[in-house]
Chains A and B, each alone.
Chain A
Amino acid sequence: MTQRTAPRLARWLWNRYCQDGEKLTLVHDLDEYFSEISIEKNRISASFWYWKQVLGSVLSFSKRHAFFGVTMFNNYLKITLRNIVRNKGYSFINISGLAVGMACCLLILIWINHEVSYDRFHEHSDSIYRLAYVSTQSDQQGWGTPYPLGPALKDSVPEVEEVTRLNRVSRRLVSYDEKRFFESDILSADPSILKMFSFVFIKGDSENALTKHSSVVVTETVAAKYFGTEDPLGKMLKFDNRSPFTVTGVVSDIPDNSSLRFDFLVSLEYLRSIGSPTHWGAFSYDTYLLIKPNADIQDVDKKIEIVEKPLPHKFVLHPFNTMRLYGINESGAIRSISLFSFLAFLVLFVACVNYINLTTARSTNRAKEIGLRKVMGAHRKDIIRQFFGESIVFALIALCFAFVLVILFLPTISRIAGSTVSFNLAQHQFILIEIAGILLLTGIIAGCYPAIFLSSFRPVKIFKGILYSGKGNSFLRKGLVVGQFILSIALIIVTLLINGQLRYVSHRNPGFKKENLIYIRMRGEGNLWQKYNTFKQELEQQQDIVNVTASTCLPVGGMINEWGQMDWKDRDPESTFGMNHMAVDPDFLEAFKIELIDGRFFSENLLADRQNFVLNEAAVKATKLQSPVGERFRLLERIGQIIGVVKDFHFDSLHNEIEPLVLQMMPCSYWAYQHFIFARINSSELRKTLASVEKVWSRQVPEFPFEFHFMDSSMEALYSSEQRLRTILRYFTIISLFISCLGLFGLVSFSVERRTKEVGIRKVLGASVGSLVHLASKEYIGLVVVSNVIAWPLAYYFMNKWLQNFAYRIHLSIWVFFLSGLAALAIALLTVSFQSIKAATANPVTSLRYE
């Protein structure tokens, strides 16, 4: 009797391998022998024997399978490669399309990897959190936190291990001996920053580098810039020619994927010593917390909430290592990442569509092969496998070209992304898996439908010559072409509209004359400001300088807004609202060419004007004063009269409405003010004029280097994210249109090739070239028209939404849509007619002799 005491796992394995009919008897055979041996010897040696048998047998079974598989694989590969070589044109269309699509995906992937890797290099990056405030009255959120908050949390929340507050120091002149540069990457932080974050020290030690108030840590590049080959440690750097700092440490350059960057790192004491506010009301510091590794974050959040503080705001933790991605309210990189990866995926899809269309359209050419394979005993799954393999081979070849494209376009992506994105295999361990993923994805998307379609052919019908007429198939093909063109047309519309909006933005009259206006940034510190009057006088003597003026704010990108610190007659005491305010010099109106609509502007000679105000129209509207001129007005501690009203002008980006603005006269003491000197210059001799300004500057303030900006280019810079969007969309539009047209070209050339005889006969019977071209291209042109109909509402929807971001925007004119559609149509027509004209003008003698 058979005793079933054979090792269970081995028997199960053996069973799996002996599924079909006759092999099933082997299971019992082995059982029988097993029991014999276990009776003869013992169970252990029998089990041992059994295992040996099973493993050995499995090996020899699979050897046979593998051998068979390899043979077939070789055959498939050979057929695929032959087909690629034989149909060079179609292969080129497929491979180039796929290569471009894959290159897009790869570039985006590299970029995503870069973004995801942000801030992860710090040893404790998982346990670092950043505090953000949430206003309890409104939905407002932000990173700013008050100075005393950090230490308060460290004292009362036990999970908080370490706290670092930091703040940027505005531009400083840094000097060492003769070397002087303006530096803006100065960070001021608690000494604990060096414990929390892993900046690599080359010189000096992280323990004591920031303990002294006058110590500074610099990066490698900065050290080389100032000290060259000298040892930087112990050297003295001066900020604004006054405060001396001793270099106590040099860190290696901060990696590109760090959101915490600095060139100079000084102690927080420095900011305090120059009067940065340290009370609870000033939300000007970033607070980072190091939380104990296994603490529950929600728990910590709750504890932070109950810490006593004289503020109505809530403070919440945001994980540091995903800060770059999500920001506050998903405002981080994740939005553009998801948009661009979506677009890259669409482009890849468009390329796959080409493959699907060309393969199914040309299925008749492969029909005999498929029929023969089936007759010789191929199962449907074998055919499916073959065609999947084929699409993967295509994808693989395309991938090689994609790599070349990636290397060519990586600098472009770096420029668009705004940081150095590198293609470094060592840095991203997963990139190979991801590339393999893209390869498989492409192969599967492209190969899926052709594989199923081609494998469904019936051999009998094929050899009888009754091929699938392919009604459903050609419907799908048309649908896919329509899909391709929807994307292309929508992208054209979107790009044109964004372009239009950006042009509108830069051409819109801001209410003042922005051309030929330069400005020099000065700071309240130092004695620069005291020299303003002499500087101004000297400048005005230069012949090419028309006006010189000054203000306390740059009328670009918003101003200082004061909440509720103002009063006027009949003010509704309940209402709290803010007004922007800045102090200007009496020549401001003249220099900026701003229109005055009521009253008068400040005058140099009237002492009383130092207490008076000028409002803009929006402010008048906000105050609800009927005749504002002559009314009393209070701003902060100044009380005076409203003496004039100016026409509204833009001092913020066009995203926002023009807000109420109060102008007062310089000088003015307000801690947050900076100073700007503006000069309107003659454009004819720009270089000479600028040189003369510099000469005056260096005579007046020799201790500071001369640096200036153009007003109009600073205003352009407000729209950098839109400009970036425009650049990327432009690329995507061109790529998607290119690939779609390639596909169309392929389809048309195939259908023309198939109808060679028909065209020949028609021609013999007297058809004109025009009617033949019409015959060959009408179908596809119809498709493009249909795509237009679908693309327009889509583009309209998205652009309407996008334009809502701007308070001042262009109208969505039908012409843009119409033109985009027309352009797509023209390009498609060009593509199609290239082939159809060739066919129509061919000599009918040759075409009838064809085949």
Chain B
Amino acid sequence: MQVLTRDEEILLLSILRLKDKAYSLTILKEIKHSTGKKPTIGSLWVSLDSLFKKGYIAKKLSGETPAKGGRKKVFYFLTPSGAKALRKTREFQKSLWRGADRRLKKIWV
């Protein structure tokens, strides 16, 4: 299994954070909130689709939330392999950063 790219990582983390409320709009807002990027809904959909194809996320067509006017939405969830990928990425980062923090502090800015 490969390490996730930064964009994939951001997406997966957003979905994870949103728990069972992750659909295109909330993901869009979450990304904007956490990174300041403003992707379009279309490019978001394209990336979600490729994540889906890789098996990191699952889709569920449902959610007649009365507050939303009772229409259908596509909700996204992390799959076990998605969670594994995130974990692996995290470990990879940790190993990358091993001992780096301390040295970084010594460099005079």
**Which one of B25, B40, B68, B69 lies within 8 Å of A57 (CB-CB)?**
B40
Q: Is B24 interfacial (CB 8 A cutoff)? A: yes
Tell me how far the C-beta of A255 lies from the nearest C-beta in chain B, rounded to whole angstroms.
Answer: 57
**Which one of B25, B72, B74 lies within 8 Å of A32 (CB-CB)?**
B25
Take A1-B69, A2-B69, A22-B59 as given contacts and tell me if A33 and B28 are in contact as well, using a CB distance cutoff of 8 Å. yes
Take A22-B74, A25-B72, A29-B25 as given contacts and tell me if A64 and B46 are in contact as well, using a CB distance cutoff of 8 Å. yes
Contact in complex: B74, A25 (CB < 8 Å): yes
Tell me how far the C-beta of A612 lies from the nearest C-beta in chain B, rounded to whole angstroms.
Answer: 104
**Which one of A1, A32, A56 lies within 8 Å of B42 (CB-CB)?**
A56
Contact in complex: B46, A60 (CB < 8 Å): yes
Tell me how far the C-beta of B53 lies from the nearest C-beta in chain A, rounded to whole angstroms.
Answer: 12
Q: Is B71 interfacial (CB 8 A cutoff)? A: yes
Which residues on the A side are within 8 Å of B59 (C-beta)? 22
Q: Is B92 interfacial (CB 8 A cutoff)? A: no
Which residues on the A side are within 8 Å of B61 (C-beta)? 22, 25
Q: Is A52 interfacial (CB 8 A cutoff)? A: yes
Render A194-211 as a binary contact track against B, CB cut-off 8 A, 1 for contact: 000000000000000000
Contact in complex: A57, B43 (CB < 8 Å): yes
Contact in complex: B73, A60 (CB < 8 Å): no
Within 8 A of B (CB), among A740-792: none
Contact in complex: A53, B72 (CB < 8 Å): no
CA–CA, A52 and B45, complex, Å:
15
Contact in complex: B73, A25 (CB < 8 Å): yes
Report the nearest B residue to A64, measured CB to CB: B46
Which residues on the B side are within 8 Å of A25 (C-beta)? 23-24, 61, 71-74
Which residues on the A side are within 8 Å of B41 (C-beta)? 26, 29-30, 53, 57
Which residues on the B side are within 8 Å of A23 (C-beta)? 45
Tell me how far the C-beta of B29 lies from the nearest C-beta in chain A, rounded to whole angstroms.
Answer: 8
Report the nearest A residue to B28, measured CB to CB: A33
Which residues on the B side are within 8 Å of A58 (C-beta)? 42
Q: Is A59 interfacial (CB 8 A cutoff)? A: yes
Report the nearest B residue to A32, measured CB to CB: B25
CA–CA, A485 and B11, complex, Å:
68
CA–CA, A783 and B41, complex, Å:
64
Q: Is A61 interfacial (CB 8 A cutoff)? A: yes
Which residues on the A side are within 8 Å of B72 (C-beta)? 25, 28
Contact in complex: A26, B40 (CB < 8 Å): no
Tell me how far the C-beta of B31 lies from the nearest C-beta in chain A, rounded to whole angstroms.
Answer: 13
Which residues on the B side are within 8 Å of A64 (C-beta)? 46
Within 8 A of B (CB), among A6-41: 17, 22-23, 25-26, 28-30, 32-33
Contact in complex: B45, A28 (CB < 8 Å): no
**Which one of A1, A29, A59, A61 lies within 8 Å of B23 (CB-CB)?**
A29
Take A2-B69, A22-B61 as given contacts and tell me if A59 and B42 are in contact as well, using a CB distance cutoff of 8 Å. yes
Render B13-38 as a binary contact track against A, CB cut-off 8 A, 1 for contact: 00000000001110010000000000
Report the nearest A residue to B26, measured CB to CB: A29
Kindly name the residue among B23, B40, B45, B46 whose own CB sees the greatest number of chain A CB atoms within 10 A: B40
Contact in complex: A57, B42 (CB < 8 Å): yes
Within 8 A of B (CB), among A310-360: none
CA–CA, A33 and B23, complex, Å:
12
Tell me how far the C-beta of A281 lies from the nearest C-beta in chain B, rounded to whole angstroms.
Answer: 83
Contact in complex: B24, A29 (CB < 8 Å): yes
CA–CA, A33 and B29, complex, Å:
10
Contact in complex: B42, A60 (CB < 8 Å): yes
Tell me how far the C-beta of A261 lies from the nearest C-beta in chain B, rounded to whole angstroms.
Answer: 65
Contact in complex: A56, B74 (CB < 8 Å): no
Which residues on the A side are within 8 Å of B40 (C-beta)? 52-53, 56-57, 60
Contact in complex: B24, A26 (CB < 8 Å): yes
Contact in complex: B28, A57 (CB < 8 Å): no
Within 8 A of B (CB), among A52-108: 52-54, 56-61, 64
Take A26-B24, A29-B23 as given contacts and tell me if A61 and B74 are in contact as well, using a CB distance cutoff of 8 Å. no
CA–CA, A487 and B11, complex, Å:
68
CA–CA, A1 and B70, complex, Å:
10
Tell me how far the C-beta of A10 lies from the nearest C-beta in chain B, rounded to whole angstroms.
Answer: 12
Tell me how far the C-beta of B55 lies from the nearest C-beta in chain A, rounded to whole angstroms.
Answer: 17
CA–CA, A17 and B72, complex, Å:
18
CA–CA, A61 and B24, complex, Å:
15
Which residues on the B side are within 8 Å of A30 (C-beta)? 41
CA–CA, A745 and B43, complex, Å:
55
Report the nearest B residue to A30, measured CB to CB: B41
CA–CA, A23 and B59, complex, Å:
12
CA–CA, A1 and B69, complex, Å:
6
Contact in complex: B24, A60 (CB < 8 Å): no
CA–CA, A15 and B104, complex, Å:
51
CA–CA, A25 and B69, complex, Å:
13
CA–CA, A22 and B23, complex, Å:
12
Tell me how far the C-beta of A6 lies from the nearest C-beta in chain B, rounded to whole angstroms.
Answer: 13
CA–CA, A664 and B43, complex, Å:
100
CA–CA, A17 and B43, complex, Å:
13
Which residues on the B side are within 8 Å of A33 (C-beta)? 25, 28
**Which one of B25, B28, B42 lies within 8 Å of A61 (CB-CB)?**
B42
Within 8 A of A (CB), among B66-102: 68-69, 71-74
CA–CA, A28 and B70, complex, Å:
11
CA–CA, A596 and B69, complex, Å:
114
CA–CA, A318 and B20, complex, Å:
82
CA–CA, A699 and B73, complex, Å:
111
Contact in complex: A32, B68 (CB < 8 Å): yes
Which residues on the A side are within 8 Å of B42 (C-beta)? 17, 26, 53-54, 56-61
Report the nearest A residue to B42, measured CB to CB: A57
CA–CA, A53 and B61, complex, Å:
23
CA–CA, A33 and B71, complex, Å:
14
Report the nearest B residue to A24, measured CB to CB: B72
Render B42-58 as a binary contact track against A, CB cut-off 8 A, 1 for contact: 11011000000000000
CA–CA, A57 and B43, complex, Å:
6
Which residues on the B side are within 8 Å of A54 (C-beta)? 42
Interface set of A (CB-CB < 8 Å, partner B): 1-2, 17, 22-23, 25-26, 28-30, 32-33, 52-54, 56-61, 64
- Provide a sorted-by-A list of 24 A–B residue pairs whose CB atoms are within 8 angstroms: A1-B69, A17-B42, A22-B61, A25-B72, A25-B74, A26-B24, A26-B42, A26-B45, A28-B72, A29-B24, A29-B25, A29-B73, A33-B28, A52-B40, A53-B41, A56-B40, A57-B40, A57-B42, A57-B43, A57-B45, A58-B42, A60-B40, A60-B42, A64-B46
- Top 10 A-B pairs, shortest CB-CB distance: A57-B42, A56-B40, A60-B43, A57-B40, A29-B24, A60-B42, A29-B25, A53-B40, A25-B74, A28-B71
| A25-B71, A57-B42, A61-B46 given; 5 more Cβ-contact pairs under 8 Å | A28-B73, A29-B25, A54-B42, A56-B42, A57-B41
